[in-house]
């Protein structure tokens, strides 16, 4: 069978998912399988679906053995690892705070609300490991009574997993893009644009780069924002404080060996000050690279971006 061009698009996880590339896929039903996989993934990991595995886990009491789906178990385990590595700046137990600030539905459902009154809530700082993991049964014991949100890390994980699935199906040079969480592989060099951080210029790229292999994720404090108690708030919450992060960085794009980690780090960088962010990434995650945009338009690019990108055009 000759190498063929393949393209697939669907709307899942409240975003557009695109898969493209060249290869020898000899199954006629692969598109239906992919769409079904993402539907099942949402039924496992979405906090916006009342009967998802994650929503059911959030309803369970602490100090109880809870057997969960293997996918949810793996992502939770990774989320706690990142929480520990980042001193809980990344915190999967941020769901309670997000809901209190009005992010209780998908962003498409709340973005046009004129104002939301921040509800009283108790944010519990985590001083010890919040889960006991029971690997032999894919089980957990919750030690913290707070709602879990896996939005970004779960999306990044799904992109990496889908890239693996597509490789196994025969896509040799490919890209998976789930709303800016991207994984690229193969010999073909691809040009990818980073959307302008200003929502008024969302149809323009502020930077374009060429890449062959790696995971990419971008976080932005301006797009996914809304009015709450008379002020503008955004979806990137400081995991130590339970409040929207305050930073002069408005957008962070991270490059790494996988998309899951890139998504986590992009959010963490939006919690740092512009002058401290690149040194922090270099110290703690030296294999990753980043492009940062400050609120006054300044751009910072880490040296480690060269590991992934062959050319940058601004």
Q: Which CA distances in Å does 271 have to 88, 187, 248, 265?
A: 12, 35, 9, 10
Predicted confidence pLDDT, tens digits, the chain (314 residues): 567 899 999 999 989 999 999 999 988 899 999 999 999 999 999 999 999 999 999 999 999 999 999 999 999 999 999 999 999 999 999 999 999 988 888 877 777 777 788 888 877 777 678 999 999 999 999 998 889 999 899 999 999 999 999 999 999 999 999 999 999 999 999 999 998 888 888 788 999 999 999 999 999 998 888 888 888 888 899 999 999 999 999 999 999 999 999 999 999 999 999 999 999 999 999 999 999 999 999 999 999 999 999 988 87
- Residue at token pair 């700046």: 89
Q: Rounded distance, CA 134 to CA 140, Å?
A: 6
Q: Rounded distance, CA 209 to CA 214, Å?
A: 13
Please list the helix, strand and coil fractions of the chain in percent, rounded to the nearest 5, in that order.
Answer: 35, 30, 35
Which pLDDT score, from 0 to 100, does residue 282 have? 97
Give me 247's structure tokens: 């930073």
Which pLDDT score, from 0 to 100, does residue 301 have? 96
Under 8 Å between Cβ of 277 and 293: no
Rg (CA), the chain: 19
Under 8 Å between Cβ of 62 and 137: no
Which pLDDT score, from 0 to 100, does residue 127 have? 64
Which pLDDT score, from 0 to 100, does residue 37 have? 98
The structural domains of the chain, ordered by start, are 4-37+152-313 (3.10.520.10), 59-148 (1.10.3980)
Which pLDDT score, from 0 to 100, does residue 134 have? 97
| pTM score | 0.94
Q: Rounded distance, CA 1 to CA 31, Å?
A: 19
Taking the alpha carbons at both ends of the chain, their separation in whole angstroms is 40
């Amino acid at each position: 069978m000759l190498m063929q061009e393949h393209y697939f698009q669907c709307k899942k996880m409240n975003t557009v998912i695109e898969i493209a590339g060249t290869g020898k896929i000899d199954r006629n039903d692969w598109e239906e399988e992919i769409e079904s996989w993402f539907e099942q993934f949402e039924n496992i990991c979405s906090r916006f679906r009342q009967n998802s595995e994650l929503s059911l886990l959030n309803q369970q009491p602490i100090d109880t053995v809870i057997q969960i789906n293997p996918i949810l178990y793996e992502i939770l385990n990774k989320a706690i690892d990142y929480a520990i590595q980042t001193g809980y700046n990344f915190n999967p137990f941020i769901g309670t705070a997000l809901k209190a600030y009005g992010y209780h539905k998908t962003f498409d459902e709340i973005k046009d609300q004129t104002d939301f009154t921040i509800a009283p809530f108790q944010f519990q700082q985590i001083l010890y490991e919040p889960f006991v993991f029971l690997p032999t049964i894919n089980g957990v014991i919750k030690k913290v009574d707070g709602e879990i949100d896996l939005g970004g890390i779960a999306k990044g994980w799904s992109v990496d997993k889908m890239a693996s699935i597509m490789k196994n199906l025969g896509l040799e040079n490919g890209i998976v893009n789930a709303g800016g969480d991207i994984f690229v592989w193969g010999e073909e060099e691809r040009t990818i644009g980073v959307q302008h951080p200003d929502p008024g210029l969302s149809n323009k790229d502020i930077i374009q780069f060429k890449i062959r292999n790696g995971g990419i994720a971008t976080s932005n404090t301006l797009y996914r924002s809304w009015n709450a108690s008379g002020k503008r708030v955004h979806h990137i919450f400081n995991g130590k404080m339970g409040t929207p992060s305050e930073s002069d960085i408005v957008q962070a794009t991270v490059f790494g060996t996988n998309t899951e980690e890139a998504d986590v780090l992009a959010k963490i960088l939006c919690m740092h000050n512009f002058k401290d962010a690149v040194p922090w990434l270099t110290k703690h995650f030296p294999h990753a690279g980043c492009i940062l945009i400050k609120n006054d338009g300044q751009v910072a690019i880490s040296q480690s971006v060269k590991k992934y990108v062959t050319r940058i055009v601004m």
